[in-house]
Chain A
Amino acid sequence: MTAITADNLALQRQADRRRFLEPWLYLSPALVIIVTVLVVPLIIGISYSFRKFSAFRSEYVGLGQYRAMMVDPVLHDALINTLWWTVASLALQFFLGLGLALLLNQPFHGRRLVQGLVFLPWAVPIFLTGLTWAWLFNPLIGPLPHVFHAIGLQSEPVTILADPSTAMWGPIIANVWFGIPFFAITLLAARKSIPSELYEAASIDGATAWQQFTKVTLPFLAPTIAITVMLRTVWIATFADLIYVMTAGGPAGSTNTIATYIYVSAFKSLDKGYASAIAVLLLVLLIAYALIVIQIRRALLRDV
């Protein structure tokens, strides 16, 4: 009898162990890759921020890079540019994406074709997006300067990318063009999962279209909105490709964001230390932002 019990205990322990390990077994390839290729370099990157690099050697400088950061006027401008670039791109992407999602939820002829066409920009490689829009803004071969000139926005048909006061609009428009489908797809999916009975009930109760939107649609979309806005903000803020391709931060630093600045400072000036310190600043800002949005989303989920 005791033997059987001991046997059973062993079996029980074995089964418990298997149950404990099984999910981790399925997760392990993903976790191994992420830890070795992302987390470890990230930690090394953070350690770089405490060193100063020159052509052949590096030395430990403690918080020296961070102190230099505090008084860097270029970084200051880049922070403001980043904010402007992120907020403007995000707001336009979001509202145009939401509008598109609501339109695509309406029945109309050729909806499937339209859906395929309007989502297409997302498939266009980012560097191509940048190049194509740069060409569209080029007065030699692109139509846009001539259109702007014709409607009186510009006195001469010239590229807006060359003028520091307007240059940022180039990458922003390209970014909006590229990013609308992301919001449209996720919001359309979320909108489709709202039970139609809710709208029937609301319209029987006498709600207007606007009331249905604010009282039914928005509260239901809110958790999705929170998570997509968060992911998108992070992507846009760290996203250097588009600006790099279109203006490379110029003219006169007017489109220099933190992401492009890090890139320039890491690869042009060779001081990986300073670049890493700026990246740490960006990372801290973004993680704080992400955690806040996750908290807001939790609160929203509780309410619905």
Chain B
Amino acid sequence: MASVSLRNVHKKFGPITVLESIDLDIADGEFVVLVGPSGCGKSTLLRSIAGLEAINGGEIQIGDRPVTHMAPKDRDIAMVFQSYALYPHMDVRRNMAFSLNLRKSPAALIGERVAEASAKLGLNALLDRLPKQLSGGQRQRVAMGRAIVRNPKVFLFDEPLSNLDAKLRATMRTEIKALHQSLKTTAIYVTHDQVEAMTMANRIVVMSDGVIQQVGPPLELYDRPANMFVAGFIGSPTMNFFDAVIVRGAARLADGSLLPLAPAAWKEGREIVIGIRPEHLHFADQGFPATVTVVEPLGMSTQVTLDAVEERVTLLALERPQLSPGDRKYLTAKAADIHVFDRVSGLRLN
């Protein structure tokens, strides 16, 4: 187990910058999720930590050892790949024992560790099978087992669940989290799925265009996104955005309706964007007008799509409103639930 710290890491592929001065400290035992749209550099960052990509500058430290120029094998890490990367010519047992065999660990210890890991993951019955004889979920477990067996300082996960179906993904998500809670090994987990990020992480790192946008615990990112990118990326259904102008301490939307803002030193006439999460919008007697277009009952809640102020708006209602397409309603939100961003920089203002 160890902490991981990145100092001013950058990386280019030819003329394209994929990582731009990344600074990040990950505490011992933490579960950190790197999340972002595809091409944002999250996988490159993970592979740089693993040593599979060479970085063009900066330093990487695992525990108290600088590893920037070390080969992957000397970094004492384990990695679970999206494709699982199980060795097709070895059975499950040999797959799991491979790293310990390379280290020339005593046979008794290897047997013990493999048995321990396979018991933990329910792989006992599969030890003599080849990877091609396993289902997707089983392969996933073997990949996990291979990582656990070596008891590394850090676990790295590269989108390990994206090849599984939705149901299995949810199960494995819970299992990985439980596993982390029992092993307490530092873990860095890459995904493009913000639900995985929210549910699994101690801290989330949101990336875009090779830059860290925000780092924080899931709920902090959800409640106080640092900019419009994070606000739009975290949360499902996504946040609603409206262009607005400050008028006497309130936000005036394009159609002229006013929404109250929490008191602050707002500069009159400032051009802003306000963001409201779907569950924070509600129907009221006044606010801004909207026309219902689609009603989707989800059981626990109801998702309503409306047209308002030249925007498509999503509303999540916990009650079951009686609505039909074409209904005209007024929408509003509490001042405390409204996120305010600068229209040019996209940075949070409140």
B-binding residues in A (CB < 8 A)? 8, 11-12, 14-16, 19
Q: Residue-by-residue, is B71-96 near A (CB-CB < 8 Å gives 1, otherwise 0)?
A: 00000000000000000000000000
Contact present for B54 and A11 (CB under 8 Å): no
Instruction: Determine whether the beta carbon of B54 is less than 8 Å from that of A19.
Output: yes
Q: Which of B54, B59, B66, B69 has the most CB of A within 10 A?
A: B69
- Known contacts A14-B69, A15-B69; is A8 also within 8 Å of B54 by CB? no
- Does B118 have its Cβ within 8 Å of any Cβ on chain A? no
User: Which residues of chain B (91-130) have a CB below 8 Å from chain A?
Assistant: none
In this complex, what residue of B is CB-closest to A4? B66
Interface size on B, residues (CB 8 A): 5
Kindly report which residue of chain B lies nearest to residue A15, judged by CB atoms: B69
What is the minimal beta-carbon distance from A199 to any residue of chain B, in angstroms? 27
A11 and chain B: residue at smallest CB distance? B69
Taking CB atoms and an 8 Å cut-off, the chain B residues in 25-57 that contact chain A are 54
Q: List the A residue with the shortest CB-CB distance to B57.
A: A12
Dominant SS among interface residues on chain B: loop
B68 within 8 A of A: yes
In angstroms, Cα B69 to Cα A12, docked, is 7
What's the least CB distance linking A42 to chain B, in Å?
34
In the complex, are the beta carbons of A15 and B54 less than 8 A apart? yes
CA distance A12 to B57 in the complex (A): 9
Contacts of A15 in B (CB 8 A): 54, 69
| Measured CA separation A212–B229 after assembly (Å) | 46
Expressed in whole angstroms, the minimum distance between the Cβ of B14 and any Cβ of chain A is 15
Question: Across the two chains, which residue of chain B brings its CB closest to A19?
Answer: B54
Q: Which residue of A lies closest to B66 (CB)?
A: A8
Q: Pick the 7 closest A-B CB pairs, nearest first.
A: A11-B69, A15-B69, A19-B54, A12-B69, A15-B54, A14-B69, A8-B68
User: Could you give 13 example pairs across A and B, Cβ below 8 Å?
Assistant: A8-B59, A8-B66, A8-B68, A8-B69, A11-B68, A11-B69, A12-B68, A12-B69, A14-B69, A15-B54, A15-B69, A16-B54, A19-B54
Q: Which residues of A contact B68 (CB under 8 A)?
A: 8, 11-12
List the B side residues contacting A19 at CB < 8 Å: 54
Complex contacts, B66 vs chain A, CB 8 Å: 8
B225 to nearest A CB, angstroms?
A: 36
* Closest chain A CB from B10 CB (angstroms): 13
Nearest residue (CB) in B for A14 is B69
Name the B residues within 8 Å of A16 (CB-CB): 54
Smallest CB–CB gap between A24 and chain B, Å?
A: 17
Task: Tell me which residues across on chain B come within 8 A of A11, comparing CB atoms.
Answer: 68-69
State the Cβ distance, A64 to closest chain B Cβ, in Å: 50
Instruction: Give min CB distance, A16 to chain B, whole Å.
Output: 8
| CA distance in complex: A8, B54 (Å) | 14
| Docked CA distance A19–B69 (Å) | 11
Task: Compute how far the CA of A8 lies from the CA of B7 in the bound complex, rounded to whole angstroms.
Answer: 13
- Residues from chain A with a CB closer than 8 A to the CB of B54 are 15-16, 19
Instruction: Report Cα–Cα, A11/B69, bound state, in Å.
Output: 7
- Which B residues are in CB contact (< 8 Å) with A8? 59, 66, 68-69
Chain A: minimal CB distance from B156 (Å): 20
| B31 → A minimal CB distance (Å) | 30
B179 to chain A, nearest CB (A): 34
A219 to B230, CA, bound (A): 44
In the bound assembly, the distance between CA atoms of A8 and B60 in angstroms comes to 12
Task: Give the docked Cα–Cα distance between A14 and B71 (Å).
Answer: 12
Residue on A nearest B54 in the bound complex, by CB: A19
**Cα of A11 to Cα of B74 in the assembled complex, Å:** 15
Measured CB to CB, the closest approach of chain A to B48, in angstroms, equals 13
Question: Hey, which chain A residues are within 8 Å of B69, CB to CB?
Answer: 8, 11-12, 14-15
A207 to B120, CA, bound (A): 55
Give complex CA distance A11, B54 in Å. Answer: 12
Alpha-carbon distance between A27 and B54 when the two chains are bound, in angstroms:
21
Measured in the bound complex, the distance between the Cα atoms of B66 and A102 in whole Å is: 58
Q: CA–CA, A12 to B59, complex, Å?
A: 10
* A16 and B66 alpha carbons, distance in the complex (Å): 17
Complex Cα gap A12–B66 (Å) = 12
CB distance from A12 to the nearest CB of B (A): 6
CB distance from A4 to the nearest CB of B (A): 9
Bound form: Cα–Cα A14–B68 in Å: 12
B324 CB, min distance to chain A CBs, angstroms = 38
Min CB distance B71 to A, Å, is 9
Query: In whole angstroms, what is the CA distance A184 to B68 when docked?
Result: 50
Known contacts A8-B66, A8-B68, A14-B69, then 10 further A-B pairs from the complex at CB < 8 Å, ordered by chain A residue: A8-B59, A8-B69, A11-B68, A11-B69, A12-B68, A12-B69, A15-B54, A15-B69, A16-B54, A19-B54
Closest Cβ of chain A to B257, distance in Å, is: 49
Cα separation A16 to B68 with both chains bound (whole Å):
12
User: Distance (Å) between the CB of B62 and the closest chain A CB?
Assistant: 16
Cα–Cα distance between A15 and B69 once the two chains are bound (Å) = 6
Q: Closest residue of chain B to A10, judged by CB?
A: B69
Q: Hey, which chain B residues are within 8 Å of A14, CB to CB? A: 69
- Tell me how far the C-beta of B74 lies from the nearest C-beta in chain A, rounded to whole angstroms: 12
Nearest to A13 among chain B residues (CB) is B69
B55 to chain A minimum Cβ distance, whole angstroms, is 9
Q: Please give the distance in Å from A21's CB to the nearest CB on chain B.
A: 13
State the Cβ distance, A18 to closest chain B Cβ, in Å: 9
Contacts of B59 in A (CB 8 A): 8
Q: Which residues of B contact A12 (CB under 8 A)?
A: 68-69
Give complex CA distance A16, B54 in Å: 9
